[in-house]
Amino acid sequence: MVVGAKVMSHSGVVGRIVAIDDNLTIESAGSKIEVVKGAVRTVSAWDAPATEEAATEAEEPVVAAAAKAPAAKPATASAAKKPAAAKPAAAKTTTTRKPAAPKQSAE
């Protein structure tokens, strides 16, 4: 992060860095606000003014936090699998008939 770089905070505030100390002072829409460095989501070094002083401050390239690749989960070779849940057997679909009416005797 360098003075003059365009930043966006996690809360959505967009502005330019005007001072860097323990915290950042950001100018946005004519107002100056002070935020902690951890509140910055993205930094655009392309919008920063090209000065020798700013180039010496930023020895490593500025990378936007959103451009980071997600952390890979470590592969576990001995991952225990849960046993499959016991499922009831499917019921046979048979057609049932009503029982026949009892025969009446002719008396």
How far is it, in rounded angstroms, from Cα 48 to Cα 2? Answer: 7
Residues 6+ apart with CB under 8 A from 61: 45
Task: Give the pTM.
Answer: 0.43
Question: If you average pLDDT over every residue of the chain, what do you get?
Answer: 75
User: pLDDT higher for 52 or 23?
Assistant: 23
Average pLDDT over residues 18-41: 92
Tokens (6 digits) for 102: 């009892």
- Which pLDDT tens digit goes with each residue over 70-86? 666 666 656 667 777 77
What's the pLDDT score for residue 103?
80
Where along the chain do its domains lie? 6-67
